[in-house]
Structure 1
């Protein structure tokens, strides 16, 4: 009897130990607390916010403002309104010795000199030059004030709902505000929309007029993280801010840390949150654009079925190791009828992880279907009426 009891006890101990091991592996720990006014950690592909604190708190953006300045300039280049070879005559407003810029980061521009847009963009992004920001804004829009209207226009288009810019450089102004969430959205847009210009954000130094300046981003040379941007910021009002993007095993994360107490603090807190994201989460692509998911019955068409799928690749960010628990199902709109356009919405695809619905995307027609002739439509009308009798 004693041996049997010991055997059962040993079995329960092994089972309980295994259960604990599984539980520890399955549970994703909470995000670390950061010594910052606000922060956001976002996956680039899925747009999912992995971790956050006060993401919509209005704060001064400081030189993070230049991310939008470069976004607007890149948009103007893409539209053909300016070129990289344009020569910009430096005004008194963009003069490095302008008292407004005292003690701030500069490219060291001189009044009356002509500087190419290409050089000014490098001075803006790599050197974080406030003078370069003003010079570019005047070249694009005539005045810095008109340029800030473009900045706010693009902010609204991108969905930066709690951002308002008053200038192109980020020195403190009364209503010049943003949020951690909005800066993450802007970082995503920079990488997605203008990859060529984004490549400048990882450059660590720039020399203009025999003056060498250095990129202030503290993690570009950190061997523990593959950081390739984005921007530092600091004013007395804003504190020390840092927007970063890093890639590991094909997963890109964007972190925004606002209002830390020192240069070292923004570096440490950013490493902390990026490391957490890469360690405990992964982003998967469960569905590809254009892939057939379902054939659905349609009425009044030249054919009886339409192929359904998704318009764009779908990415889902989930706790690491949970991919086998990810489930998908779809709902088709009732009584689909021709004509149907390619890309027309025909239902929804839902993704579920255990008991949580984590994402939904539109299900669309992968092909166009023309309307049938008179006799075909008449036959389908009769069939629809007959089917409705049995619903």
Structure 2
């Protein structure tokens, strides 16, 4: 029999279907995620796991590939790379796309190309480093995808280095947030570039499109994106009072709407969301009946900790149950996994944590088992 023990002290036991389907917080963006940097907990998600067209936000992955090449010695900051006619034609001003204004058949240093990618969102700069690292942009895109999967970004599928529209160029908002977290954590020596508000190359000054820089206190990265297919999007991060949040959203209808929503979401990330620890590893949550055991029951404890991010008004809308198949049959060893905690959040997220026996319980001897069997027969069990 499947047994359910409700965690009365921690949760509301039951919810209506409508309550489970809607969080107290929402956004006009089609996809959005708020991530706590320190814990990696998702504070808010709207279609966050759904692969979407990221536009130039995918240049985070292009830049990461360059950072890794710098780390392993394939590049130095002053390494000079050739600008092919392909990079110039497909990524230059004539293409009508974001550009660093590189000259055809010239050479550019990696340090400048990084700023061309990050600050200016230059497609030409992306193609130059792609051809240098992968031979062709197509090969480099495959390298990007493989590396993303190695990092656990399973939704990622890259068709190019720039974010140019392609049905095979996709990544989820959640994986973009995780990618941003990895860059901030792993490459602090390069992350400062994301906060630079302008960069001049070939005598042409261009400004960082991130609408939070200089507007939201503590904002210091990362990358905008826009195509007709994706709408206007942003991967952003900010730090306040020792806490850092990462916000990703996409699908806004205009540059102005993106700017407004970026400030609203980032402000909410700090003032309206926090991490909730529902249970700690080893915490005793209840007990389960044992059949034919020398003790009638055994305490059940959480095998792992369970924490998650939540809007402050959603705390009363958590549904959690301690589930096991019972009664348990002796013998039971301490640490045996016998069930799980099943949790549903108001925004639809579901998660679980294994539950284990907190003590060992031996099986009764022959006389004890006979007595138990007789008692069960009388009860009609």
Report the equivalent of 1:277.
269
Structure 1 residue 155, shift from structure 2 partner: 1.2
Q: How does 1:234-313 map to 2 (within 5 A)?
A: 234-282=226-274
1:185: which partner in 2?
178
* C-alpha contact (below 8 Å) 2:225/2:234 kept by paired residues: yes
Secondary structure of 1:95's partner? helix
Question: Of the candidates 46, 58, 62, which is equivalent to residue 53 of structure 1?
Answer: 46
The CA deviation string for residues 139-196 of structure 1, in whole angstroms up to 9 with x for no partner, is 1222212211110011101222222101001111231112212211111111112121
**Partners of 2:82 and 2:108 within 8 A in 1:** yes
Rate the CA distance shift 1:237–1:320 in 2: closer, same or farther, 3 A. closer
Indicate conservation of the 8 Å contact 2:41/2:275, yes or no: no
Matched, 1:214 2:197: no
Return the alpha-carbon distance in structure 2 between the equivalents of residues 278 and 254 of structure 1.
10
State the number of aligned residues: 310
TM (normalized to structure 2)? 0.68
SS at match of 2:51: coil
**Runs of at least 4 residues off by over 4 Å:** 96-101, 314-322, 357-361, 387-390
CA pair 209-149 structure 1, distance change in 2 beyond 3 A = same
Gaps (5+ residues) in structure 2? 1-22, 278-305, 316-331, 335-340, 344-349, 355-359, 366-381
Alignment match, 1:120: 113
Question: Which residue among 88, 97, 105 is the counterpart of 1:95?
Answer: 88
**Structure with greater contact order relative to length (CA < 8 Å, sep ≥ 6):** 2
The Cα offsets for residues 30-69 of structure 1, whole Å up to 9 and x where unpaired, read as 11332x2211111111111111111133321111111100
Residue 132 (str. 1) matches residue 125 (str. 2): yes
Check whether the contact 2:220–2:237 (CA below 8 A) recurs between aligned residues.
yes
The corresponding residue for 2:319 is none
Structure 1 residue 257, shift from structure 2 partner: 0.9
Q: Please report how far the alpha carbon of residue 335 of structure 1 lies from its aligned counterpart in structure 2 after TM superposition.
A: 8.5
1:161 matches 2:154: yes
- Unpaired runs of 5+ in structure 1? 1-28, 286-313, 323-333, 337-349, 362-383
Tell me the distance in 1 between the aligned counterparts of 2:78 and 2:243. Answer: 35
State which drifts further: 190-199 or 204-213: 190-199
**2:92, 2:241 → 1: CA distance?**
47
Shift of 1:124: 0.8
Per the normalisation by structure 1, the TM-score is: 0.66
SS at match of 2:226: strand
Are residues 1:86 and 2:73 paired?
no
Shift of 1:248: 1.8
Give the 3-state SS of the residue equivalent to 2:52 in structure 1.
coil
- Secondary structure of residue in 2 paired with 1:72: helix
Task: Name the structure 2 match of 1:226.
Answer: 218
Once the two structures are TM-superposed, the CA of residue 237 in structure 1 deviates from its matched residue by 1.0
Q: CA RMSD in A?
A: 4.2
**Partner SS, residue 65 of structure 1:** helix
Q: Structure 2: how far apart are the matches of 1:163 and 1:358?
A: 22
Asked if residue 33 in structure 1 is aligned to residue 30 in structure 2, the reply is: no
Q: Residues 367-382 of structure 1 correspond to what in structure 2 (within 5 A)? A: none
Deviation at 1:97, TM superposition (A): 7.0
- Shift of residue 320, structure 1, vs aligned partner: 6.4
Alignment partner, residue 338 of structure 2: none
* 8 Å Cα contact 1:32-1:272 kept in structure 2: no
- How far apart are the structure 1 equivalents of 2:44 and 2:310? 12
Question: Does 2:195 match 1:202?
Answer: yes
1:284 deviates by 8.9
Cα deviation, 1:53-102, whole Å, max 9, x if unaligned, reads: 11133321111111100011111111122211211111111116767962
Aligned to 1:148: 141
Q: Does 1:110 align with 2:103?
A: yes
